[in-house]
């Protein structure tokens, strides 16, 4: 860990000096490209290092498929808070020129618990819901650990999905009911959130139909195993 910190600080210093070749080392883009060509696959950057553009260029120019590289960036102390954390993550992605980072860390706890909690709410929002984590699920099943579906209705964001809509039509049920039924048939503890009386009733009305195996498989295939903004939110959680 110590060596990794030294390397990232070093890259940061290089670019903060405008990418000038100083005695500190190579400009960040060259340094990251060299690292990738030498076989490094975890690139650790941060908004505070000021080198996300260079790091992103190197990653995209390396010719190495994106999913083979683990990219970490971080929320600056100055960007703590709900809206500012959302905007900061989007800006980091834009600077990196990437669709997602593998890990988004809170850079330091300095801004204090209140603002940190606001940032944490923002980080949760950045998680993409169309995510069924089959590897974690099968591990849990092997250990007899009950799994709870988190945001089983995609927080309402993917209820218009055409594949889901087609299945819902077939069973004369709503997309939300199909998602709840899918979770139930998977054996998950399912907690759909609603503050609307009609929807609350609708979400409980899921015990008079069975999704056929074929339709379960189609719903399984919706999994994108992808978070917008970040993966491995669980790692971030551990670090808080």
Task: Give whichever of 75 and 126 is closer to ligand A2P, judged by the CB atom.
Answer: 126
Task: Give whichever of 92 and 151 is closer to ligand A2P, judged by the CB atom.
Answer: 151
Task: Return the residue of 32, 88, 103, 176 that touches ligand A2P, per CB under 6 A.
Answer: 176
- Largest Cα–Cα distance of the chain, in whole Å? 71
Task: Return the residue of 51, 57, 92, 174 that touches ligand A2P, per CB under 6 A.
Answer: 174
Contact 43, 71 (CB under 8 A): yes
Task: Return the residue of 156, 228, 233, 235 that touches ligand A2P, per CB under 6 A.
Answer: 156
In whole angstroms, the minimum distance from the beta carbon of 240 to ligand A2P comes to: 21
Task: Return the residue of 27, 154, 229, 231 that touches ligand A2P, per CB under 6 A.
Answer: 154
CA gap 224, 188 in Å, rounded: 19
Size of the site for ligand A2P (CB under 6 A): 17
CA gap 198, 196 in Å, rounded: 6
Q: Name the one range near ligand A2P by CB under 6 A: 20-28, 54-62, 151-159, 222-230.
A: 151-159
Tell me which of 40, 49, 100, 188 is the catalytic residue.
Answer: 49
- Using CB under 6 A as the binding rule, whether residue 59 contacts ligand A2P is answered as no
In whole angstroms, the minimum distance from the beta carbon of 180 to ligand A2P comes to: 8
Active site residue 171: no
Pattern 188-217, binding to ligand A2P, x per CB under 6 A? ----xxxxx--x--xx--------------
Residues that bind ligand A2P (CB under 6 A): 151-156, 159, 174, 176, 192-196, 199, 202-203
The catalytic residues are: 49
């Amino acid at each position: 860990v110590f060596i990794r910190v030294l390397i990232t600080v070093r890259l940061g210093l290089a670019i903060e000096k405008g990418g000038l070749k100083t005695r500190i080392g190579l400009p960040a883009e060259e340094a990251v490209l060299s690292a990738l060509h030498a076989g490094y696959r975890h690139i650790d950057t941060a908004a505070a290092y000021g080198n996300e553009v260079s790091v992103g260029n190197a990653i995209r120019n390396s010719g190495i498929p994106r999913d083979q590289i683990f990219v970490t960036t971080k929320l600056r102390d100055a960007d703590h808070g709900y809206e500012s954390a959302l905007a900061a993550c989007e800006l980091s992605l834009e600077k990196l020129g990437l669709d997602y980072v593998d890990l988004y860390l809170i850079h330091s706890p300095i801004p204090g618990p209140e603002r940190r909690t606001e940032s944490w709410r923002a980080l949760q929002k950045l998680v993409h819901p169309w995510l069924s984590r089959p590897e974690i699920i099968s591990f849990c099943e092997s250990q007899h650990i009950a799994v709870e579906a988190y945001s089983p209705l995609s927080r309402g964001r993917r209820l218009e999905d055409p594949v889901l809509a087609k299945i819902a039509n077939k069973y004369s049920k709503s997309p939300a009911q199909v998602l709840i039924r899918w979770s139930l048939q998977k054996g998950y503890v399912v907690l759909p959130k609603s503050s609307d009386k009609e929807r609350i009733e609708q979400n409980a009305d899921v015990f008079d139909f069975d999704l056929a195996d074929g339709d379960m498989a189609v719903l399984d295939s919706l999994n994108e195993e992808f978070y917008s903004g970040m993966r491995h939110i669980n790692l971030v959680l551990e670090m808080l």
